């Protein structure tokens, strides 16, 4: 203990006043510490003692985690997207006419969801720290599913907007919860694939949703009791209600309490392998010093600007995509079926981008490249003559590669901050920017410009252009922060040129660990010190071992 205190005091002496004045762990100065309460995982590992395990045992644990964590996230996100998109499917079947919507009322039915999500972010952020995540997620899932069913009974603007407001309230926590779950359960090398997995599920909803809506429309086409748009809400909402017990049974609260990790050393393996992240798992205490650091951190504002620039176009396309296609001269049934390929394009885009991301380990370049096709597609929608609807439809499909941008940004941003409270608050801030963009997106598609919507398309092009510039800027800023981290480690007598082990393949990891241990031993350093702060719930600014992912 005495040696640990000397190390921490030494660290504070070297860093005080540097690197954005981030506070450093010091046991005697509790007012400024990031570690008033140890991370839950650290406490569990301390009780369990040292453990050794093979690569096969580690893979077996990851498979269990995928079954009980990743699959429920995929199912929930798929159903959420179906419920949220049900309004755009209903629009193709003339909900505006049937519910007597006028002016921009349809736009407000889309935007109100994100106003609700915007207002609920403080509650959601606190709940993710304070409450068991399983109960929080399934409660909200049941609530939004019931609201979707009730939306089918609404026959005017007042009823619809109340339902959409409630939908936004209960859906507000789902994406932040999944980001938090991904960080809690997976190493940084694994997080990208799992984030893409539930985003693929989201895109799969964009494939199946129009097909389901087509079938529901046909089934209710001649009904005197249920209109097409009502049938869509009734059916999709009922599917979500049916899946709530399944999600409740499967989803765990945390690695320290998950029932499926009872066998042998499964729980210890699940927790121990996360130390490479240098981000901890979950602390149940809200830490205001991490909140303050979040809003002193320039990255927070850059990520937020990126999210606004990508969600404004996606919000507009999500709300008006079906109407844009229908405006090319297609019938309701043909227009709804022509929406199905957009989900397939999104899935293909996600798979291609994640392949290149992990192949070249240069996230900024892949995200920047992903921004270019949507710009080209939107320019085509503005400039191509409307005499050939199929050329315009091709431009619309090219623009749908926008689906790859947001998941890549989620993954990239998540890898570049640490600390339980800071991670939640950073994402909440980005989610606020995302909600703001989703509010603005439908509003710039002006009803008087239908079916051309040139103002909305010009705004989209501008947002994507700004986003490209922000991505390039963030690449250089993260490189600068890594140089500062090297300087901190040198000042503390620690290894300077560390590589980020959490994004290496397992074979690369084992080889690098052996090389690093030999280097540290030759320099008279203890290799176990690399992980001494891994579960101390320190932020990226506080932990000198943290490496930013470019």
The per-residue pLDDT for 142 is 96
Residue 247 belongs to some domain of the structure: yes
| Model confidence, pTM | 0.71
Q: Following CA atoms 475, 478, 480, 483 in sequence, which dihedral angle do they give, to the nearest 10 degrees?
A: -130
C-alpha 182: how far from chain center: 9
Does residue 488 lie in a domain region?
Answer: no
| C-alpha to C-alpha distance for 20 and 364, rounded to whole angstroms | 24
With CA atoms as reference, report the closest residue to 314 among 473, 217, 436.
436
Distance CA 303, CA 497 (A): 27
- Is 114 domain-assigned? yes
Q: State the burial class of residue 467 (Cβ atoms within 10 Å of its Cβ: 0-12, 13-18, 19+).
A: buried
> Is 486 inside a domain boundary?
no
CATH code: domain of residue 322? 1.20.1250.20
pLDDT at residue number 158: 94
Return the axis-axis angle of helices 454-491 and 363-383, rounded to nearest 10°. 170
Q: How many CB atoms lie within 10 A of CB 152?
A: 22
- Residue 146 contacts by C-beta under 8 Å, 6 or more apart in sequence? 237, 241
| pLDDT computed for residue 543 by the predictor | 82
Q: Which helix (H) or strand (E) holds 312?
A: helix 298-326
| Res 23: pLDDT | 36
- Say how many domains are in the chain: 1
Instruction: State the virtual CA torsion across 445, 446, 452, 455 in degrees, nearest 10.
Output: -70
Tell me the C-alpha distance between 192 and 255, whole Å: 19
CA dihedral (157, 161, 162, 163) in degrees, to 10, reads 110
- Supply the range of the domain harboring residue 205: 61-277+287-481
Residue 108 counted as domain residue: yes
Tell me the longest C-alpha to C-alpha distance in the chain: 83
In a domain, 292, yes or no: yes
Residue 157 is predicted with a pLDDT of: 93
Residue 523 lies in a domain: no
Buried b (16+ CB within 10 A) or exposed e, 26-50: beeeeeebbbeebbbbbebbeeeee
Residue count (the chain): 550
From first to last of the 550 residues of the chain, give the pLDDT tens digit.
Answer: 444 444 344 333 333 333 333 333 333 323 333 333 445 666 666 676 677 788 888 889 999 999 999 999 999 999 998 998 898 888 888 888 889 988 889 888 988 988 888 888 778 878 887 788 899 999 999 999 999 999 999 989 999 999 999 999 999 888 888 888 888 888 877 887 888 888 889 889 888 988 998 899 888 887 778 888 899 999 999 999 999 999 999 999 888 888 898 777 888 888 888 776 655 555 556 788 888 999 999 999 999 999 999 999 988 887 777 778 877 877 878 888 888 888 889 899 988 988 888 777 788 999 999 999 999 999 998 888 777 788 888 888 999 898 889 888 888 888 888 887 888 888 889 888 988 998 898 888 887 888 888 899 999 999 999 999 999 999 999 999 999 988 888 887 777 777 766 667 667 777 777 777 777 777 666 666 666 555 567 788 888 888 898 8
Residue 165 placed within a domain: yes
**Residue 380 to residue 461: CA distance in whole angstroms:** 11
Numbers of helices and strands, H then E, in the chain: 22, 0
Specify the DSSP class assigned to residue 68.
Answer: I
pLDDT at 280: 53
């Amino acid at each position: 203990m005495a040696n640990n205190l000397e190390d921490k005091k030494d660290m504070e002496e070297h860093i005080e006043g540097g690197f954005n004045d981030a506070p450093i762990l010091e046991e005697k100065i509790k007012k400024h510490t990031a570690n008033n309460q140890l991370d839950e995982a650290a406490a569990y590992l301390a009780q369990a003692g040292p453990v050794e395990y093979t690569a096969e045992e580690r893979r077996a644990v990851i498979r269990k985690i995928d079954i009980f964590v990743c699959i429920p996230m995929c199912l929930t996100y798929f159903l959420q997207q179906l419920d949220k998109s049900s309004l755009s499917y209903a629009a193709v079947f003339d909900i505006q006419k049937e519910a007597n919507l006028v002016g921009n009322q349809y736009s407000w039915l889309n935007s109100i969801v994100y106003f609700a999500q915007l207002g609920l972010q403080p509650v959601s952020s606190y709940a993710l720290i304070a409450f068991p995540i399983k109960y929080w997620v399934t409660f909200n899932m049941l609530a939004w599913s019931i609201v979707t069913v009730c939306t089918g009974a609404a026959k005017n603007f007042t009823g619809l907007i109340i339902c959409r407001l409630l939908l936004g309230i209960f859906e507000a926590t789902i994406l932040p919860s999944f980001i938090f779950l991904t960080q809690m359960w997976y190493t940084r090398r694994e997080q990208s694939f799992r984030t893409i997995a539930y985003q693929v599920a989201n895109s799969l909803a964009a494939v199946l949703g129009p097909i389901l809506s087509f079938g529901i429309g046909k089934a209710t086409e001649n009904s005197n009791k249920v209109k097409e748009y009502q049938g869509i809400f009734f059916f999709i909402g009922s599917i979500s209600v049916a899946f709530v017990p399944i999600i409740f049974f499967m989803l765990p609260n945390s690695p320290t309490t998950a029932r499926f990790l009872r066998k042998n050393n499964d729980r210890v393996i699940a927790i121990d392998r996360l130390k490479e992240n240098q981000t901890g798992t979950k602390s149940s205490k809200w830490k205001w010093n991490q909140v303050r650091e979040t809003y002193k951190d320039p990255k927070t504002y850059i990520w937020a600007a990126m999210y606004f620039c990508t969600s404004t176009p996606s919000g507009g396309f999500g709300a008006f995509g079906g109407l844009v296609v229908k405006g090319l001269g297609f019938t309701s049934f043909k227009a709804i079926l022509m929406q199905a390929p957009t989900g397939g394009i999104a899935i293909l885009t996600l798979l291609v981008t994640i392949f290149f991301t992990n192949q070249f380990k240069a996230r900024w370049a892949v995200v920047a490249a992903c921004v270019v096709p949507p710009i080209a597609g939107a320019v085509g929608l503005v400039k191509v003559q409307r005499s050939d609807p199929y050329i315009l439809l091709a431009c619309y499909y090219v623009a749908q590669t926008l689906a790859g941008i947001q998941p890549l940004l989620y993954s990239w941003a998540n890898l570049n901050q640490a600390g339980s409270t800071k991670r939640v608050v950073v994402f909440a801030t980005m989610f606020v920017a995302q909600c703001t963009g989703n509010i603005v997106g439908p509003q710039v598609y002006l009803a008087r410009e239908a079916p051309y919507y040139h103002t909305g398309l010009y705004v989209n092009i501008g947002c994507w252009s700004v986003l490209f510039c922000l991505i390039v800027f963030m690449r250089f800023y993260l490189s600068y922060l890594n140089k500062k981290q090297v300087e901190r480690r040198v000042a503390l007598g620690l290894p300077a040129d560390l590589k980020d082990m959490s994004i290496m393949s397992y074979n690369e990891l084992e080889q690098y660990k052996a090389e690093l241990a030999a280097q540290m031993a030759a320099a008279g350093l203890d290799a176990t010190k690399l992980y001494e702060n891994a579960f101390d719930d320190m932020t990226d600014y506080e932990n000198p071992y943290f490496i930013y992912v470019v």
